[in-house]
Every structure is written in C-alpha cells, then in structure tokens.
Amino acid sequence: MKKNKANKNTTGTIAQNKKARHDYFLEDKFEAGIQLQGWEIKSIRSGKVNISDCYVIIQNAEAYLVGCRISPLNQASTHVVCEPERARKLLLKKRELDRLMGARDRQGYSIVATAMYWKKCWVKLEINLAKGKHERDKRDSLKDQDWQRQKERMMKHSV
C-alpha cells in the first residue's frame, strides 16, 4: 500500500524567475538537469532556493548556472563545505549546447533560467533564450496586460 504524503507543492515547481519575463523577451525554451550535491538537494526540498538573478554561461562546451543561491540548512554537517552561490554544471545534450552557443554568439541572445522544478526524483531547470527589453518595451507590455485585464472585466460583466 502506498501512503499519501501531504506535499506543500503539488505542481512540482520549486522556484520561478518572474523578473525574467519582465526584463526579457523569452523565446526558445530548454530543459536542463543540474549537477547538485547532497546538501543542496536537502535545501531544495525545504525550499531554500532563489533563482531570481541567475543566468547561464558556456565555457569549454559546458553550460554553468551562475547566480543561483541555495542556502544551506542549519543542521548541515561540519565536514561538508557549503558554497551557496557556486557555479553549477547544467546537463544538456550536445545539440542543445550548440544551439545555445550559436544563438548567444551570432544573434546576441542571453540565456536565462526561468523555473526550477521536480521531474520524478530529479531537479530540472527551465532555461530560455532571451533578448533584453528596453524601458519602452516594458511599458508597452504593461499596457497590453492592463488592456487584457480590462477586456476580461468587460466580457465578464456583459455576460
């Protein structure tokens, strides 16, 4: 018999980078695994992760996640050295790495992490190719969101 565990998070999402949708035009989406240590998994399970300022760099044909903060637990072991903001290697296929490198080098894209989630028992990272927004673009997207909200209200009241 299986026991039902009451999880706080039923969707599997660990953390989201909402700031990325505001600051960038997000285009192509990729799913990457992350090479983590044991203490990091324990901290992620307790929700001590922040991906709001993280991005991906590519060095020597390998992708690394930079700026992701995983805070260590208080009861972490004394023999383990915890580095909360270390660069973590991303696990991607060669074809995906080539596509990311080409877009970054030729077309001037940035590679931004937008979400971290559970997929079965593994932690996965959603990364996107992104172009930076100018201030006027941010204002335009806010106007569009506001107009969509107003349209929904009008449709709701007219029915």
Model confidence over 18-51: pLDDT tens digits? 888 888 888 899 999 999 988 889 889 988 899 9
The pLDDT value recorded for residue 156 is: 84
* Residue range of the domain that includes 52: 13-133
In a domain, residue 140? The reply is: no
In a domain, residue 145? The reply is: no
Q: Please state the three-class secondary structure of 91-133 as a single string.
A: ECCHHHHHHHHHHHHHHCCEEEEEEEEEECCEEEEEEEEEEEC
Predicted structure pTM score: 0.75
Model confidence over 93-120: pLDDT tens digits? 999 999 999 998 888 889 999 999 999 8
Given a cut of 60, whether residue 75 has pLDDT beyond it is: yes
In a domain, residue 23? The reply is: yes
In a domain, residue 4? The reply is: no
Given a cut of 60, whether residue 91 has pLDDT beyond it is: yes
In a domain, residue 142? The reply is: no
The pLDDT value recorded for residue 76 is: 59
* Mean of all residue pLDDT scores within the chain: 85
Q: Name, in order, each residue with C-beta under 8 angstroms of 104's C-beta and a sequence gap of 6 or more.
A: 58, 110, 111, 129
User: Which CATH number fits the domain that encloses residue 48?
Assistant: 2.40.280.10
The pLDDT value recorded for residue 112 is: 93
Give percent of the chain with pLDDT exceeding 70: 91
In a domain, residue 55? The reply is: yes
pLDDT-derived band at 82, boundaries 50, 70, 90: confident
Counted domains in the chain: 1
